Chain A
Amino acid sequence: MENIEPKTEYHLKGIELIRCTINTPEGAPALNFNFSISLQTQLDVMPRTLTVIVNVDVISDDQKNVFGSISVNNVYQIINFEEAFKLDAQNQYEIPPKLLEAIGSTSLSTTRGIMYSLFKGTFLNNALLPLVDLPKLKQY
């Protein structure tokens, strides 16, 4: 992938489907699909990777029932690790926010595609992961 910032070069190294469950509800089919989405970004120094773990639960309006869930690891290889990530005063790596947003968005899109292909033909066929504008979250 091309640089999203002048100094960061990375590519998608791997996609791992960790978990997928579908829980068919009893009685009338679900009308509304709500989504509980978790994005966790991990930095692994030795292999020089960033991993975005996306967990999505498709839940009922009252949030008591989980109709389906999926968990996907999106692994990104950072080519110019030492150049792109500097250590701060506390010896922690500074990750450029724009990079976090870019890989977060890419990971959500990847997960959306995997969700669609796995839920296709089931009652969750229309449970499409909505678009999320990650940079705008800061405004909330």
Chain B
Amino acid sequence: MNYEIVELDELSGSKSTIYSVIIEDEEYTLFDSFVEENSVDHPDEVKLIVNKLYQIGHNFGAREQFFKLAEGKPGDGVCALYDEEDNKLRQYCIRYGSALIILGGGGPKPPQIRAWQQDDKLKKEAELMIWISRDIMKRMQDGEIYWSKDGTRLLGNLKISDNEE
């Protein structure tokens, strides 16, 4: 699967750089899709998520306390923006310290489930982020993707077009 890592202009700020991912040659990012899919049924919650991310980018940084960590496999950085028990949505991301996050998709979390593996939509979105995280890690090890000197940006080949389908 090919993808491109793009910086979200409105959300990135001096405290954290916020990215998302465009899969293949789609028009929208994974985060755009999350917003569009859920704005009708859960408008307040989506607006709150967008504003929290704005605050993270501009005022606070991606501090651990704002996330539910370890949503993915150990060490892959996949987490979710903190949601309370009575929230309806879960939104996945990859957190690289407090200065850089990559937003993924997400979806409604049915009250009866205890883990994403139990819901098809959440499973698909979480597994996609786990895969992207692993691929980025591999490309960092190969030197194809690397950090800026100040540790706030990703540089290198951020448009991946050599993966098999």
Q: Do A and B come into direct contact in the complex, CB within 8 Å?
A: no
Q: Which residues of A contact B (CB under 8 A)?
A: none
Q: Which residues of B contact A (CB under 8 A)?
A: none
